[in-house]
């Protein structure tokens, strides 16, 4: 590529970028390092949450295939509890019972 062609291409790219620019918008490479670190940490948090959700799902599928029960609940009972319209006061009582049983 000749130098004139390269310069014309750079100018064209700048014009295209400017056509999409909003006032006050900055590109990723223009952001301060601490902003980039915060965004990276937020993305890592989302990835960790996704990983935990996948592990919980995998444990559910494993328990379903193996026919295991956790705290006297089978996977079928768990699915029924998820599907039904739930009273949150009753849910709170059940959670407290499970936590008390876990603590003993």
How confident is the model over 46-77, as pLDDT tens digits? 899 999 999 999 998 998 888 888 888 888 88
Query: Can you give the pLDDT at residue 26?
Result: 64
Residue reference for tokens 């599907």:
83
Instruction: Report the predicted TM-score, pTM, of the whole model to 2 decimal places.
Output: 0.42
Q: What percent of the chain has pLDDT over 70?
A: 78
Q: Write down the H helix ranges in 1-104.
A: 3-20, 33-66, 75-83, 88-103
Residue 93 burial (CB < 10 Å; 0-12/13-18/19+)?
Answer: exposed
pLDDT in tens, 20-53: 766 666 666 666 666 656 666 777 888 999 999 9
| 101 in Cβ contact with 71 (< 8 Å) | yes
């Amino acid at each position: 590529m000749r130098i004139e062609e390269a310069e014309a291409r750079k100018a064209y790219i700048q014009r295209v970028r400017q056509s999409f620019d909003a006032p006050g918008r900055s590109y990723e490479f223009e952001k301060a390092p601490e902003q980039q670190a915060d965004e990276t940490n937020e993305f890592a948090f989302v990835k960790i949450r996704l990983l935990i959700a996948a592990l919980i799902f995998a444990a559910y599928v494993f328990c379903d295939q193996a026919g295991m029960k956790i705290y006297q609940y089978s996977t079928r009972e768990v699915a029924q509890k998820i599907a039904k319209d739930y009273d949150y006061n009753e849910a709170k009582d059940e959670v407290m019972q499970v936590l008390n049983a876990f603590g003993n």
